[in-house]
Structure 1
Amino acid sequence: MKLIKAILRQNEIKHTHVKVVDGLLIIGFRHDMLKQQDQHHHHRHHEHHREQ
């Protein structure tokens, strides 16, 4: 679990919890966190394409 949390932090992915349930990895996010991450990624993606 520590490695998974470290990878999430390293990639600036905000999460509420990480756990294993019935052999499945569950990573919890709040909806507003996903929306912010998506907007940030979308903005960076467009900046990248403008530079080329």
Structure 2
Amino acid sequence: MTEKYLKPKQALKKAYLKVKPNRNAIEQFKGNLIRLIDHINEAESEEFHKNLVINF
């Protein structure tokens, strides 16, 4: 089985490509992503990490 990689333009619906995020939204996303990564604990269960992603 070969893996097929898509570019973001190919993977997203056309309507989403028209939406331009503002700088504040990008910075907020980056901050939340950093917090999510900081809370990852490899000793914890999948359920623990699932809850982190839900809150993200």
Bigger Cα Rg:
2
What range describes the TM-score normalised by the shorter chain of this pair?
Answer: 0.3 to 0.5
Identify the structure with bigger relative contact order (alpha carbons < 8 Å, sequence gap 6+). Answer: 2
TM-score (norm 2): 0.42
